[in-house]
Amino acid sequence: MEAEAAQSERFRAAVHYTVGCLCQEVGEDKEIEFSKQTIAAIAETTFRQCENFATDLELFAKHGKRTTVNTDDVKLLARRSKALLTFITEKCNDLASSNAEQKEKKALATGKGKKKSDGRLEPTVSESEDITID
């Protein structure tokens, strides 16, 4: 329990630091300053939203009778933001293509995979790596 609390505090501090850096960057670009209280409020809101996201992802996986969060769970989480959903879908497709290319190269190098009608090898392709829930 103590280790979990310490990890949570480290994550909270990392979020606060990152929010501070982003506020500084935006402030320089827009020629405005963010108060320490504003940065702390944004950081706390961000941290709590991340906790909510983690809980939702875990529940989506459990609802699907899985112990692993997959890309479909992440897409379901992002469903209310069309731009975010589009971005995540494109990234998933890019990763799947990249993984397929890497597996094809590996299969050709090791001589494993299914033979296509043109004589080339076609590796078995699976979706990108998932995250396992403890």
Mark whether 4 and 18 lie in a shared domain: yes
> Of the residues 65, 82, 103, which one is the last residue of a structural domain?
65
Count of positions (residues) in the chain: 134
Model confidence, pTM: 0.69
Which domain range does residue 10 map to?
1-65
40 with 80, same domain: the answer is: no
Task: Answer whether residue 73 shows pLDDT above 60.
Answer: yes
Please check the confidence at residue 63 and state whether its pLDDT lies above 80.
yes
- The last residue of one of the domains, among 43, 65, 87, is 65
Structural domain total, the chain: 2
How would you label 106-117 residue by residue, b for 16+ Cβ within 10 Å and e otherwise?
ebeeeeebeeee
Per-residue model confidence (pLDDT) at position 22: 97
